[in-house]
Structure 1
């Protein structure tokens, strides 16, 4: 079989996919689980002490050996492994054998140009090696620097092997019998013609005693450089200072955003308390407990300096930011963790989950500031209440201290009600202060529910097919029985019923449930909205106004009666005003009307308007009817104007129409979700670092809503069937969109955004639609099938079995060909972009 490249990477703690090596799996799994548990908890506890020293590998180790296999004495292999936290260059290193008496040491292999990443294996085998896993190199016997000289190790059944540096320094040794090459108590020799050997119980641990470190494996379980990586936990250095004192800390979070942009202007500040040394955070991650957002950090923090992240690059008037992130923080609460590139925890914010312990999601959009360097707990976070010194992009005050010392530092927080309570709306907003104390138990804060989208113009099928969408931004479900949605002219008075889920939508359709034919309505209403404009009010069971739309009257501030496009709210945290609403452009849409035309809106889905911001303009002084066609004067600016829309990692059809079905049919599709053309000059696509060469996008201008599809036959980007990353970069080197997956869908099923554009990802299960609207794959039951003879072989790689031997794979191939009934054919198999001859 062909040797695999030394490039594929998947950060997993699973040592090997073969479940037969149960003892090593069990011990290794328990050890790593305990190590990770301690690693996660130690830095976050105020009184945590240092962990006991672990016997972690300090350099390369020999991880598995076989001196005598099923093909007799020369059926040998030696597997090495990198247990450290850094890449190790083993160019020129040697594998040296010894006899049982320790005489006649002989170099049996010299490594070529090889650099092993943390957690990566490398397999060297004899020329007589007989196993399904392809070696990375064949022993070059005489010591030649190239594997072109095929040879056998020729290690005696009671011999040993040492891994040496070019200068002869022994790094690791394993011996059988009484050989002089070995560590501590040696292993019993194996003489039978059987597929068996010795493998390290825990590849991350080296006690310098062979009998303790290794276990008999039957059959052998060799791993090569393309096997799943097994990242080892980082050793913990002893430090007399508290574990959090010198690390980077999450210092300030404006989860409510800014007055001008609401949550679209969210920002986060990291701080380096070390006044002497800068800290490189490239490869670190700031990730929420639910996985969204997951921000891959890039750059370094100066001594005593700050690192600002924001959802838009121009969130502040003059203060630059260090990095843009795309996915929003949940205003209802997130648990954030800062981890290193190896997954080691550094810090957390709101680590115990639940609502944010401080900050505000409404005016004045105050940040959540850390008080000092103490470990994360609810008590250390305080809502900013100082004097603002920074302005947002529309020159409104930012209630926080981005890029500067926290106002909260040194404050003593007294046990008082949540600080955000001091910023609730004042009674001066109401005409009469008639609220009674008995109502406070049921009162909900302003905008506990939102009027999120209004299709007052109807749909292309009928202008009478109007619909309204409500949204619940909170973290608890809300029963709507007793709530009302009314208009200022009293023509609309809907008594609501049912429940709106947390972070969910409630869709009202006029007249019948066919207004949006492919989405079920939550409630039907009958009264028509006027095209000239109305003021809508959402009231709770006590009659208190919770939210409004177009509250100051006059024409609708957005929406279009000609294109039947909806009026969308641009943020879940911005109060109702003319600038709070934007006309959907049809670039991002969801649902079909009664005639199966695409809805120009996003019913029951995230608003397109959440990702654009209008340039503020004064409301026309005329009291006449406002025409919806004036909305194009607002110039939206997107967070990322072009995003990845769909990609196919495992093709089984001729998608690029070149007459062949191969890896070239894999594709990546991008889309322009902005309202302006975007030049792609200097942009590029890439997958996981080091996997494939980058692909420079052609210097074309991508129109609003337009898509471009790039096939692997053109890009050379091979997406791994065992997990990979798809990345889109701007000409400045800034990542504009990234999606990482850890499993491959069924063959010929893609990952896609549904609906197209800014919507969430469907984790597999999409039908490939290059250049067309995304859609889910159909589920077809093909009945029970017996496995072909090929799939019954023990040599079938574990990662290959699901894709080729489950129903979807069986349907793609000739059963007779698999079972070897058809003679005269060489059996070649494509796996992860490589072709292999089945022997």
Structure 2
């Protein structure tokens, strides 16, 4: 009798424990199910982002107009101060909806651009013949950037219809990101480029809000009869387009930013002591966002100025080799300064560099100076090499008293604001699954023993 009661008691305890274990397992399983997909698409930090997409192709002289659609491209941007290896990175929905385009090799420089093209064009960094975008966004799907470990780095907005979030097929205006440090899945962070063919390898155009402001100003100064005259409508459209480009050019086309002094062969270690100095010959501060410096011989290196770098009026800005990664050859070399449109604003070259002397600009001439003056006005002490500077406004400004602009040694980008779960939850999720499995195993063991 006692054995029978004891057996019944064990059976009741086993049933209760199994029921309790099942509830624990179900609860943890639901938690894992809800959180696991979010961890799969988590983006921890957006060092590299999708910055511009020419999903409609490009107007080009390389092909007749009916083949312009084949000249598609996508641009990546590096938000960080580090050179990033893109080998084996992949872009989903850039080849077909169900397959990814894999970058076999390539690097993206700090605060630089990396343009991937279907067909070779002058601005391309990488050509992949299978690059392809569907004109219907819902059929194409969101474009997703993944690194070599298949972690999601960035993505475009989730499709909500057939139309791409931004861009125009007829005019080949691209889909541009407004802020590379903000959420790429936010539709409001994208705009249609102000220019045909977009801005590949360069800073994107001004935000669309400025188009509305210009349109309102022009419309206010136009008579109400404009709606009755198609020619006037076209004229207004042309004025808006011209005014927008003029505004963009005004902020970009500074004619008075110069290369002022360079140090190719310092007394110390070249890698630690080489530098390039720029001078702002304007009476206003200038942003160098999107501007570049590049050398001319040997392994060509481009340095892209971070968005935060500015140069004061009548001020200097010194860029070290450690910052730019540009090596100035002692035998002979040259450098170029390019604005954000890729236009060469200034350039200089030199022959064999004497040790400890800087190549300095005085007026319209260049001379070797035994007294390097980074961040200050140039000084020529060797009278045998000295040339009489021309009495020009440029020379007078260069000899004027100026202040030094401190170049930032480290630029940190804002943290990504994507509303996704951090990868830090992954270990906790694994532990939860292990507890659930352990509970199930214990329940199974108890039930097995009770039967025996």
TM-score scaled by length of structure 2: 0.42
- Relative contact order, CA 8 A, sep 6+: which one is greater? 2
Q: Choose between structure 1 and 2: higher helix proportion.
A: 2
TM-score scaled by length of structure 1: 0.24
